Amino acid sequence: MDAPSLPPADLYINRELSMLEFNKRVLAQAEDPDTPLLERLRFLCISCTNLDEFFEIRVAALKQRIEIGAPAQGPEKLSAQEVFDAIRHRTLNLVSQQYALLNDVMFPELTRAGVRFVQSQDWDDDQKEWLSGYFDEQVVPVLTPLTFDPSRPFPRVLNKSLNFILRLRGKDAFGRRRHRGMVQAPRSLPRIIRLPEHLSSPGSHDFVFLSSVIRVHVDKLFPGLGVEGCYQFRITRNSNLYVDEEEVSDLVRALEGQLEASRYGAAVRLEVSHECPDDLQQFLLDHFNLQEHDMFLVDGPVNLNRLATVCDIAGRPDLLYAQFTQGLPEELLSDANIFTILSKQNVLLHHPYQSFIPIIDFIGAAAADENVLAIKQTLYRTGANSPIVDHLVAAARAGKEVTVVIELMARFDEAANISLANRLQEAGAQVVYGLVGYKTHAKMTLVVRREDDKLVRYVHLGTGNYHHATTHVYTDYGYMSSSQRLGEDVHKVFMQLTSLTEAGDLSRMLVSPFTLFDALIAKIERETENARAGKKARIIAKINALNEPQLMDALYAASQAGVKIDLIIRGICSLRPGVPGLSENIHVRSIVGRFLEHSRVYYFLNDGNEEYYCSSADWMDRNLFRRNESCFSIRQKQIKDQIKRDLELFLADNCQSWILHGDGSYERLTPGKAKPISAQDTFLETLAAPT
């Protein structure tokens, strides 16, 4: 059957609009009364943080395309202006939904639960006195009140910082009339202030917004001038980093310069209090070279994501998800040396239900083992105070050959990665930076150990980052092995990353940007031919995003041939499922729950010779053509069976699954009269340690 003759916009879903749909699903977790109350607040904050990044990166790039008149981009062939207009409409609704949830639902329910945000009009006399003292002693010393004239221009405003625009009256100390002023809140100040216990309501934890404290006491900063109005605002700036690979001679220096510049990149969004008068709104728009469609009037704090701190300091574990102890697979429960264990069997860890500690201990054991000669590792994100980096430093200082491929351009982690690169180099490690234009996104560790006069390679390959903190909230697979062929493949890939030469034939791995895309197309086409030949054909992929046009077209052709295709895609999906004559056999679901679904798994039935792959790569243009990614096959029956059970559980989930319809909208599944099945809850029950 030929594909229906449809315009591109009807064949594909725009990436940016799909991203906003994901953020709506995140916000739905905040609206869900079955989610613990403080976790609902956290999900609200996550939705705001996601929106910040969306404007900093996606909308910023879109505005640049509009400015230069760039042609339509993406497989759906929508113009930049069409996409921007759709984003504006949907984002207005999303922001309105966020603040309505906060003001009409979250604040009242939190108050009833004993976590109270006290508004300035509700402060009693004792609270007013304490907050006045707090302002004088803790806030005033770090504030700089400003007024404007030709010699005192409007100050530079830091990306996403809290600021106040003021309407003033009267004359200053020099006899000059002042109409406007401004106060910037330094980032060193906490945005949420916890009131002392004796000033809180009985049995309650009371909090006050810094913005409220500044607004109430701002007149103290302008003695002799009258403050007629004080309105908070926030600017979001373009945070894309631009490095010309043909011109840059020192990537570290180039990035350091770009990081500083990005703090004051072009403004892309203005958030301002809905009470701000029209003339002050226009003043801000004019100054930041923005239009009315770039402004969002908000009924509450302009930086909602700062509310997340309350979840951790409120002291109310009963309003959070129940704590759990991460488990260990049976193979790692013995006291045997990790190299002894891996010499006998491969190990698959499923985070966060199972602990990340064995991977840290694996690297630590390698650093301390006198028989280990070399350690090689890729680092994309690690976080501050990483125990893995500590082990690598110790290994280098102990005289082992330590090679670390660090991706400096890991978005929003660039400064941290520059710092850890310097630390590793000072310890004697060989540090190699990712190639400009081809981010190193692969997750790999290689340990070379001398055993009985021969060298044995041990590897860890993962679907997620070597970031200890995120392994508590991201779902990922980690695979540990001493397979000779896999070790040889990982060795070849590291050689390619460091020398930029060809990796040669790989027997257990597929890599981007060289072999992964072609292999995926070939495997999809093989399933297509099997279906046409009357054989059973099946594809299951669990990924974070799908927008690569050729892959989507191959999946459409497979669907038309009768291949049953299940896609578990957390975020962006540009493919339209269920389109008559095109994609009736494709089903797409997104799972959004307590943990961020992050693992990437590909399954192909292959006429009964089932193939399983785990990978660092999503099915996106950037992952397949502009990144160094790793994909490794799983060949042990026990581990393949485990992954298959996991995939089947995700497909059976009827509590946290959202089904994508052909029009781009998502519908949340509910159990109805069926047995409730939550994949994440089931993994907690079966993989986490008994409590």
Active site residues: 441
Q: Which residue has the tokens 């992050």?
A: 598
**Residue 546: which residues within 8 A CB-CB, separation 6 or more?**
552, 567, 569, 572, 573, 574, 575, 618, 619, 620
Q: How far is CA 454 from CA 368, 371, 372, 457, in A?
A: 19, 11, 12, 10
Query: Amino acid letter at 196?
Result: P
C-alpha atoms less than 13 angstroms from C-alpha of 179 in its C-beta half-sphere: 4
Q: Are 217 and 204 in contact (CB under 8 A)?
A: no
CA distance 227 to 341: 71
| Residue 572, SS3 per DSSP | coil
CA distance 166 to 601: 54
Q: Are 108 and 45 in contact (CB under 8 A)?
A: no
User: Among 368, 364, 569, which Cα is nearest to 468's?
Assistant: 364
Q: Are 41 and 311 in contact (CB under 8 A)?
A: yes
Q: Are 405 and 500 in contact (CB under 8 A)?
A: no
Query: Amino acid letter at 587?
Result: H
CA distance 635 to 346: 10
DSSP β-bridge partners for residue 476: 351
**270: phi then psi, degrees, rounded to nearest 5:** -115, 125
Strand order in the sheet with 180-185: 146-147, 180-185, 162-169, 226-237, 267-273, 295-298
Residue 145: how many other CB atoms lie within 10 Å? 18
- Beta-strand (E) ranges in 136-287? 146-147, 162-169, 180-185, 192-194, 205-209, 226-237, 267-273
Kindly write down the DSSP assignment for every residue of 91-127, as one continuous string: HHHHHHHHHHIIIIIIHHHHHHHTEEE--GGG--HHH
Q: Are 523 and 611 in contact (CB under 8 A)?
A: yes
CA distance 570 to 41: 21
Cis peptide before 352 (omega within 30 of 0): yes
Q: Which residue has the tokens 């600021």?
A: 163
Q: 293-297: which pairs have CB atoms within 8 A and are 24 or more residues apart?
A: 293/88, 294/267, 294/268, 294/269, 294/270, 295/269, 295/270, 295/271, 296/91, 296/92, 296/95, 296/269, 296/270, 296/271, 296/272, 297/272, 297/273
- Beta-strand (E) ranges in 429-569? 430-433, 439-440, 444-451, 454-462, 474-481, 509-512, 538-543, 564-569
Kindly write down the DSSP assignment for every residue of 451-487, as one continuous string: ETTEEEEEEEEESS-S-TTGGGTEEEEEEEE--HHHH
